[in-house]
Amino acid sequence: MAVDPVIRRAGWRNHLTHRFRHVALALGLLVVAPQAAADLTQGELLAGACGGCHGHAGVSTAASMPSIAGFDRRYGARVLREFRSGVRFSTIMGRLMAGYTPGEMAQLAAYYSEQPWQGANFTADPALAARGLRIHEARCEECHEQHGRYQDRDMPRTAGQQPEYLRMQLFARRDHPEGMQQPRRMREAIAALSDEDIIALSHFLASQE
């Protein structure tokens, strides 16, 4: 049976449109992939100034410094912008970020987000870790899910960080909440913790991988 020429032309146009979309998508990927690779390369170069504190590829070995390898890139970029603007206070980070553009901060965050996470390899006191687990499940787990392993654009990973860093952060957030970026629920949860609770919680979190 003969096919109406109009239908044949319409079918051919649909075929061409379909093929064009595939070609456009492929070209788009070809453009995006080199750009992403370039961002990572540039981010690695920029990260040279960070390793002294945060360790090689973002894996900290310093007691008071956090590991940043594997962090969500959106969270990382936002934190860097906040250091630059002064919303998040840090004498060192504020001065460092003043020399970076928003694009460079995004490249830094992208680079560190692609680095493999490594925990602190900390052996906790069993009794303190057990107490810390109970505290975490009662006061922290609702937001910091998976025993602190969960992370997203608004939530950093807390599991596996250096114990001294965790203690410092928890004490600072409890004792000087006015100078900290933290939601109301976190302020309320930390305010009720004793010194011993904070030490136990840091033991538990640092021991998690």
Annotated binding-site residue? 155 = no
Same domain, 105 and 155: no
* Interval 25-30 mean pLDDT: 52
CB-CB contact of 207 with 123 (8 Å): yes
Local structure of 123: helix, strand or coil: coil
Residue 73 CA: distances (Å) to CA of 70, 85, 111, 112: 8, 18, 8, 7
Annotated binding-site residue? 144 = yes
Nearest to 70 by CA among 57, 61, 80, 79: 57
Annotated binding-site residue? 93 = yes
Annotated binding-site residue? 22 = no
Confidence of residue 96 (pLDDT cuts 50, 70, 90): very high
Q: Is residue 25 part of a domain?
A: no
* End-to-end CA, the chain: 68
Same domain, 147 and 195: yes
Domain of 154: which CATH number? Answer: 1.10.760.10
Same domain, 144 and 169: yes
Q: Which domain holds residue 147?
A: 126-206
What is the reported pTM?
A: 0.79
Same domain, 142 and 194: yes
Annotated binding-site residue? 143 = yes
